[in-house]
Chains A and B, each alone.
Chain A
């Protein structure tokens, strides 16, 4: 369903209501005008009939003529154009004004010509019957003129409705938009900007609920991060102890006559280093990327790649490395080392046997890129983004390799802490290739 803005909805409602009101108003006003005209016309006809009747009486009394000739005389003198008058006795005797078929007879028997007329009858002396009529057409014209003029005013009403609707809509949504603007820039771990006083009850309530939810969310997230940070800090102390014990044991064994440095102790030291790195990873992941790296030092990414590849590929065929002597970035050397090491470790695990991974470092002034290619490894498209989820391990990784599913998420997190990113840049049909991009070193004084 497509979402529309509140203003649009208010606008639509206003226009609809205005249109309906205008149409209904036009119809009602037109009908009312016709009824009023009819009532007015009836009384006019009655007055006319009364006047004619008196005129006939007067004529007959003064001139002493027959009622028929008196009526003919009175009609000729008194009936104005636009009205019709007839005198009947069984049949039409006299007609005045407006030629056409007679509108009588007055006995009520209907015929077609009557429909077009508004008719009044009045008895005259001598058994004569007076019929006065006014054409209905004039009433219809009043109806048309009224209705049309009101209809023509509808567009004006609609334009007014749009203007008013927009104004009202904007006024009504302004507090909401303000609220949206205030929370739009909010990032996790930032306190929300202070609430602006709003006079709209719904907005106040909405903001209150939102703030409550936000606070709860912040609390949960920061508790989790705090837990990770605390846990890794707490783990350091026993790890320091274990490492010291192992080193002492190794030294003691080395000093004993005839004892060779034990394979087990070397393995133990390696495992301890692995644990230390895992603990470091938890600590790194508990940092918020928005915070960035507070005070970066100069780091040569080429050196990091050389050192990491020596550690990662110890005892294995080394990767092909193509790098300049220096590729400088600003950041935390230990963290960047972790990121590079994880990318190389990934490449080592997933390259086909006999095909060494390729690592390329490049610098173009704006950014430093480390591209790591694992020949023979294919990444199914549906897995690509999941690879960057914490603790996700692809089917291949689960089947054959040790790991925690933290390598790529960690590398990406470190890159983002530095304002860069880690992406996969290969198609599914090619060798798996990941790229670490970091902003190149720039003098802070520039």
Chain B
């Protein structure tokens, strides 16, 4: 089932059984998987090349995942990195993103969510120029700290609302399908999740679109949503 041209995933995880189980699941999905226990071996595997994405555990026997990721980025590695950790609070998230990780998943995770995140990561790749702050007109959003401002006023946006905006911003003005949004953010495309997405789009429009300005979030009928005015991607 594993073809020679299938994307190769580097899995750096010190727990043998978790490594084994995740490897098997990813292999079932059609990926080639290189599983290593230590950070050092991970760095070697990365240097050998042909790695499409890295799944990196934060607690490793020889290094912290944060430091490891920072070293890779400093060495010019552009491979997308998904971090696995036991902590999912904002400060850990900011730390992970500061270290150059592209996404963040808390343990114990559901396999469906891991699969969806990995798919998204492979599709958009790691963008070295990606800024953590999106600015459109008066609006600026710090995706790392999950804070938004309209002019001087702070706009209260919840995690889900920021996630949806972030996902739309990554598409650089292109439309993102409802299914992709549901899979990557809710981890499931159930009717409840779909209803929840509708509510969040409505709330975002209410909070971010003041007066008669042109619509920030454009509905693409029968497909999904796109972020207007964000062509060229999130930049400063």
Contact = CB atoms under 8 A, between A and B. Distances in A.
Interface string B73-100: 0000000000000101111001000000
A294 B89 CA distance: 9
Contacts of A240: 15, 18, 107-109
A244 B156 contact: no
23 contacts: A233-B86, A236-B107, A241-B18, A243-B110, A244-B17, A244-B21, A244-B25, A248-B21, A294-B89, A294-B90, A294-B91, A295-B89, A295-B94, A296-B90, A297-B159, A298-B156, A303-B158, A328-B156, A332-B90, A443-B153, A445-B152, A445-B153, A445-B154
Nearest to B106: A334
A442 B146 CA distance: 15
A227 to B, nearest CB: 16
B85 to A, nearest CB: 10
A245 B21 contact: yes
A218 B145 CA distance: 33
A185 B156 CA distance: 34
B108 A276 contact: yes
B33 interface: no
A310 B158 contact: no
B109 to A, nearest CB: 7
Nearest to A241: B17
B35 to A, nearest CB: 13
Nearest 5 CB-CB pairings of A with B = A244-B21, A240-B108, A443-B154, A298-B156, A241-B17
B138 interface: no
Interface of A: 233, 236-237, 239-241, 243-245, 247-248, 272, 276, 294-300, 303, 310, 325-326, 328, 332-334, 441, 443-445
A244 B18 contact: yes
B205 interface: no
A237 B158 contact: no
A274 to B, nearest CB: 12
A241 B145 contact: no
B18 A237 contact: yes
Contacts of A444: 154
Nearest to B202: A325
A294 B18 CA distance: 31
A283 to B, nearest CB: 8
Contacts of A443: 153-154, 156
A233 B203 CA distance: 36
A310 B192 contact: yes
Contact of B111 (A244, A334, A445): A244
Contact of A243 (B88, B108, B160): B108
Contacts of B111: 244, 247-248
Contacts of B159: 297-299, 333
Interface in B136-179: 145-146, 152-154, 156-161
Contacts of A237: 15, 18, 107
